[in-house]
Amino acid sequence: MVTVPGFLLRRLYVKGSLKNSPDGASFELKNSLGSGHAKELMPLEIDGQAVPLENSHFSLDGKETSFKDVSEKEPFTLAVNKSTRIVVKGKKLDAGQHKLQMGFIVVGLGKLSFDFTDKVD
């Protein structure tokens, strides 16, 4: 099975996009690698702590979807050159550095994951 290294997937993260918003902590992904979709999303991890799937959402083209609702029929899609906003509802981050990890299951590739570190001002 083909695998995609984490250092390539890390390029999905829009550096400097990690921030607190009224909904909670958020960041952006922008795909410049190639179209893809995941049939399942793994729990986000923030500073080593897993976030319940129902608290994590992604927004694309104005439609918000919970991580727990992702399936083969309702995939998590990263279209090329489109931004996707990820929101962890109810979670505020302290100022400073934070490490996040994101993982997903892609048909034909299996489980893929990457992490990134960024700071909140």
pLDDT of 116 above 70: yes
Residues 9-58 have pLDDT tens digits of: 999 999 999 999 998 999 999 998 887 889 999 999 999 999 999 999 99
Q: What is the mean pLDDT of the chain?
A: 93
Going by the DSSP 8-state scheme, the letter that residue 65 receives in this structure is: E
Fold of 6-120: Immunoglobulin-like (2.60.40)
For residue 81, the surrounding DSSP H or E stretch is none
- The reported pTM is 0.92
3-class SS shares of the chain: helix, strand, coil, % to 5:
10, 50, 40
Which tokens hold the place of 44? 């986000």
Average pLDDT on 87-103 reads 97
pLDDT of 2 above 70: no
Q: Given this model, what pLDDT does residue 1 score?
A: 57
